[in-house]
Structure 1
């Protein structure tokens, strides 16, 4: 299956279990792997036959900078669902959300979740 990869999308959100995370917020980095058939776009050279990267960014921004969630797992799930709703040609998606410097004991560069969803899973 063909893929569109968008890496290192950065957003500022207020997700986390602790009140200070919800009040102060922090940066989140998102990587997306969108699986779809790109053969028609490759032959036609028309944006209407592909998935617009700018629109993908805006959907991701709306989710990550939107409603605060306790878990980045919930953010990733919502992001996948919104992508299926926005792009009818999207067949499957992998979402990675990276949360730098999580407020947990010890020293961490980041905590991340990765989910993979297929269209038949979408509600």
Structure 2
């Protein structure tokens, strides 16, 4: 299996369990990995034989900058299912890491994140 990785995309959204998060918003980062056979794309140099990662970015952007959710787990699930649906002809599996760099919790930490894998990801 081959992989496409789209790393450290950054967006601004209004997600969170606390009311302030839905009003003030905050930054979110996402890493998405696609399990895909890239042999034909590599042999032909043809964009139609792969997944355009600009479209993967657009999927993430529309979801993260879209309708507010309470949980980043819900955002990650939405991203994964949308990618699997939109690119079902090629993508065998998807891994989504959604990072919340500044959650409103006390303490010292770099961030909190969720990671989900859907489909076949070998």
TM-score range, shorter chain: over 0.9
Counterpart of 1:18 in structure 2 is: 18
Note the aligned Cα RMSD (angstroms). Answer: 0.9
SS in 2 for 1:6: strand
TM score, norm. by length of structure 2: 0.94
For structure 2, which runs of at least 5 residues remain unmatched after alignment?
none
Counterpart of 1:55 in structure 2 is: 55
TM score, norm. by length of structure 1: 0.93
Alignment of 1:1-123 (within 5 A): 1-88=1-88, 89-118=90-119
Q: Distance in 2 between matches of 1:105 and 1:29?
A: 20
For structure 1, which runs of at least 5 residues remain unmatched after alignment?
none
Which runs of at least 4 in structure 1 moved beyond 4 Å after TM superposition? none
Q: How many residues align?
A: 119
SS in 2 for 1:108: coil
Per-residue deviation, 1:4? 0.2
